[in-house]
């Protein structure tokens, strides 16, 4: 059977090191000769992405429901690209995905089930890695506090909802793994590689759907 590329999502609180680690992971996969594409959500380059960017920088205000739907629409914009890449044998890494969408909006008080609905039937990852860090440790890292959601109490509640999501999707057969992101960069890189390596040569079977 021909294998397709693996779909790997990296999630975590703000400043947990997602961008650092997704870049390192891409480099490691490429060094192993695996064709790899890295996608970051929100993708701030599209028209929808620019609205999201302006909202996150507090340059514009939007109703909580509206911004939630824009984040989801921003994923749908790239859903067919992700599928094509996977089918063509490319491994896709996403820096944040639907799980961030739910965690952040539900933390603002929107109903959990409502938050999940617009992302239903997006491609599901083969592996979701959750970078775990305390809000205190995240705060001590560079750049914290520049954007809208970067407040300690918000991050704490986001962390709790991520926990619920992890338990839920794991029970539905999506692999959700917590990685201690409070360690040194190299250690976190090694831990992530240990989980990704078995998928690097590709995955059998069709692309699954959320949820
Ligand atoms: N959002 C997002 C929603 O509300 N709904 C959605 O659907 C989606 C997709 C922007 C916001 O949007 C929200 C969530 C966010 O609040 P973003 O663009 O991903 O999302 O945010 P960024 O600001 O780009 O990224 P983060 O703040 O989340 O940072 P990262 O990517 O987790 O962390 P990174 O790698 O940039 O590292 C942060 C700092 O720590 C250092 C780095 O050098 C850097 O200075 N660092 C370490 N320091 C010590 N030890 C380590 N192991 C380190 N690793 C990195
Ligand atoms: Na951020």
Question: Ligand 1 centre and the CA of 2: distance in Å?
Answer: 35
- Encode pLDDT of 80-131 as tens digits: 999 999 999 999 999 999 999 999 999 999 999 999 999 999 999 999 999 9
Judged against a pLDDT cut of 90, whether residue 158 lies above it is answered with yes
Q: Write down the pLDDT at residue 143.
A: 76
Structural domain of 24: 7-199
Look at the chain and report how many structural domains it folds into.
Answer: 1
Atom index in ligand 1 nearest the CA of residue 144 equals 27
Q: Is the ipTM of this complex over 0.90?
A: yes
Q: How much is the average pLDDT of 141-163? A: 89
Alpha carbons 81 and 172: distance in angstroms, whole number? 25
Q: Is residue 204 part of a domain?
A: no
Question: Ligand 1 centre and the CA of 62: distance in Å?
Answer: 22
Our CA dihedral for 138, 143, 148, 153, rounded to 10 degrees, sits at 20
Q: How much is the average pLDDT of 19-48? A: 98
Alpha carbons 31 and 63: distance in angstroms, whole number? 44
CATH number at residue 66: 3.40.50.300
Name the DSSP letter for residue 47: H
């Amino acid at each position: 059977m021909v294998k397709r590329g693996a779909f790997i999502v990296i999630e975590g609180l703000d400043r947990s090191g997602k961008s650092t680690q997704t870049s390192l992971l891409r480099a490691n996969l490429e060094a192993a000769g695996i064709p790899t594409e890295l996608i970051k959500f929100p993708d701030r380059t599209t028209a929808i992405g620019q609205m999201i960017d302006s909202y996150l920088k507090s340059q514009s205000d939007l109703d909580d429901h509206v911004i939630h739907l824009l984040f989801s629409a921003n994923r749908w914009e790239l859903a067919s690209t992700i599928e094509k890449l996977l089918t063509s044998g490319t491994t896709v890494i996403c820096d944040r995905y639907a799980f961030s969408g739910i965690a952040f909006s539900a933390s603002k008080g929107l109903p959990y089930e409502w938050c999940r609905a617009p992302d239903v039937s997006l491609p599901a990852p083969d592996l979701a890695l959750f970078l775990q860090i305390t809000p205190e440790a995240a705060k001590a890292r560079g750049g914290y506090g520049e954007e809208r959601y970067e407040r300690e109490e918000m991050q704490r509640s986001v962390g709790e909802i991520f926990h619920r999501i992890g338990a839920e999707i794991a029970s539905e057969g999506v692999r959700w793994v917590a990685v201690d992101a409070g360690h040194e960069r190299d250690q976190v890189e090694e831990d992530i590689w240990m989980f990704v390596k078995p998928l690097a040569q590709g995955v059998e079977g069709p692309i699954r759907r959320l949820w």
